[in-house]
């Protein structure tokens, strides 16, 4: 089974779009986001999202985005992964209005995703 199929057809993804439990949904999205960003098995899927070269990869981004919206940091990470930088900047502007909570600070801590976004850092330096 292709990883993109797993992520878009996994029952939790569809359920998360309409999830109203505001404690469960962000936690589930954060865990799925961590899996997406770090699992070696999903390297091809990450590259597909980075390239956004086909209608299927764009559709995958949109489907993930719908659920990832339960977690501001996961949404930002997805946008950075997919190189949708203009929208990532818009999200950062909105972060200024978020209530700073312990949960948000723990999710934002930089070392959590540092190795995943190393190529992005190198691109920014150029």
Do the Cβ atoms of 79 and 88 come closer than 8 Å? yes
Q: What is the residue range of 119's domain?
A: 3-125
pLDDT over 50 at 68, yes or no = yes
Alpha carbons 11 and 9: distance in angstroms, whole number: 6
User: For position 55, what pLDDT does the model report?
Assistant: 93
Total structural domains within the chain: 1
pLDDT for residue 126: 56
The helices-and-strands tally (H runs, E runs) of the chain is: 9, 0
- The pLDDT score that the predictor gives to residue 104 is 79
Tell me what pLDDT residue 102 has.
84
In the predicted model, what is the mean pLDDT of residues 97-113? Answer: 75
Distance CA 6, CA 18 (A): 19
Cβ 29 vs Cβ 70: under 8 Å:
yes
């Amino acid at each position: 089974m292709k990883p993109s199929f797993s992520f878009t057809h996994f029952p939790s993804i569809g359920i998360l779009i309409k999830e109203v439990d505001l404690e469960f949904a962000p936690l589930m999205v954060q865990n799925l986001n961590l899996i997406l960003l770090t699992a070696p098995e999903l390297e091809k899927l990450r590259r597909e999202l980075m390239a956004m070269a086909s209608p299927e990869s764009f559709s995958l981004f949109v489907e993930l985005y719908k659920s990832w919206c339960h977690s501001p940091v996961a949404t930002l990470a997805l946008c950075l992964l997919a190189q949708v930088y203009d929208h990532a900047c818009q999200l950062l502007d909105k972060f200024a209005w978020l209530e700073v909570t312990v949960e948000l600070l723990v999710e934002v801590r930089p070392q959590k995703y540092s190795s995943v976004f190393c190529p992005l850092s190198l691109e920014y330096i150029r």
